[in-house]
Chain A
Amino acid sequence: EPEVTQTPSHQVTQMGQEVILRCVPISNHLYFYWYRQILGQKVEFLVSFYNNEISEKSEIFDDQFSVERPDGSNFTLKIRSTKLEDSAMYFCASTPPGAQETQYFGPGTRLLVL
């Protein structure tokens, strides 16, 4: 069964450094999402992406964040200058065409900012 994949599984970085989290959505899916989960808290929506542009973003998704679909398979989340509070699990998700469909989540990237 096709799966959403994410790399790396874990990343440790210094405050102020840039990080890029990578996702490969399921191949025929058209809608892509990033979510984050701070340790011990609920999962929060960051951004949705469709047709090569952001369709919705949350208040969390400020100018330090950006998303890109650089080719036909990858979907990336960049954090320009990481802060301690960016430490979290980041999940990528994708959805097939259609208004009402299951979102399929990747296994997550655990980011630790020191």
Chain B
Amino acid sequence: GIQVEQSPPDLILQEGANSTLRCNFSDSVNNLQWFHQNPWGQLINLFYIPSGTKQNGRLSATTVATERYSLLYISSSQTTDSGVYFCAVGQGGKLIFGQGTELSVKP
């Protein structure tokens, strides 16, 4: 089955710093979503981005489908950005999740 790898596994930032999270996947997909899991365990939809670039405030994402990777950019990070960021991909139906990147933003 399709493999999803995220890097880095952990990331510690000072408030105000920028970061880039990466998601590599092993096969062509027609769905790619980025989620933020908050401290209460909820999965918050960030982007639906099977290809192209999207921006939402301080967050943006780019997926290069032909090269099978996606990037999530966080600019001017805040302590509330802390949590685990998951990439999930699909080929029609179920989503397959990566292991996540655990982000900690220090004040």
Instruction: List A residues at the B interface (Cβ < 8 Å).
Output: 31, 33, 35, 37, 41-45, 48, 55-56, 58, 89, 91, 93, 99-105, 107-108, 110
A1: min CB distance to chain B, Å: 11
* Contact (A110, B41) CB under 8 Å given A42-B99, A100-B31, A100-B50: yes
Q: Are A89 and B41 in contact (CB under 8 A)?
A: yes
Q: Are B35 and A42 in contact (CB under 8 A)?
A: no
User: Interface size on B (CB < 8 Å)?
Assistant: 23
Interface centre among A45, A58, A103, A108 (most CB of B within 10 A): A103
A98: min CB distance to chain B, Å: 11
Q: Which residue of A lies closest to B29 (CB)?
A: A100
* Contact (A99, B30) CB under 8 Å given A42-B99, A43-B86: yes
